[in-house]
Amino acid sequence: MIIDSIGKTSLLYEYAEAAFVGGTLVERGGHNIIEPAFFNCPIIIGPSMFNFEAIAEDFIKTGSCRSVYDYKSLAKEFINILDDKKSTLSMTQSATMLISKNSGASAQQLSAIIHELNGVNK
């Protein structure tokens, strides 16, 4: 299934066997890959993730997603994900651990900001 819509992807990630995060085979920068990871959906991305570069690097480094460079390698990775359930499970488990490890960042940032603001006002 190919969708070109905002706000509907989370409804589909939960049931997808794999997801290619669009905008990544061309110089568009891609989309957030945390959402499909949250739903244990195996993720495939292209090389253009400049607006989510740090996240993409962490996911690639930990084996939490697969990276492709063209439509042929994209098709191959979809087949690999569908055929190799053990490897796919490992990939989604790595993504879940990565999300858990980095969760709470917003609360930490808010706490640091409040701390700094309180320090300025004293």
Which of 58, 77, 59 lies closest to 69 in space, CA to CA? 77
Range of the domain at 97: 9-121
Block residue for tokens 């409804």:
11
pLDDT digits (tens, 9 = 90+) for 21-46: 888 888 887 788 999 999 999 999 99
C-alpha separations of 77 from 6, 19, 54, 67 in Å = 25, 10, 22, 9
Euclidean distance between CA atoms 58 and 100, whole angstroms:
13
The total of structural domains in the chain comes to: 1
CATH of the domain at 99: 3.40.50.2000
Per-residue model confidence (pLDDT) at position 121: 52
pTM over 0.85: no
Block residue for tokens 């959906």:
41
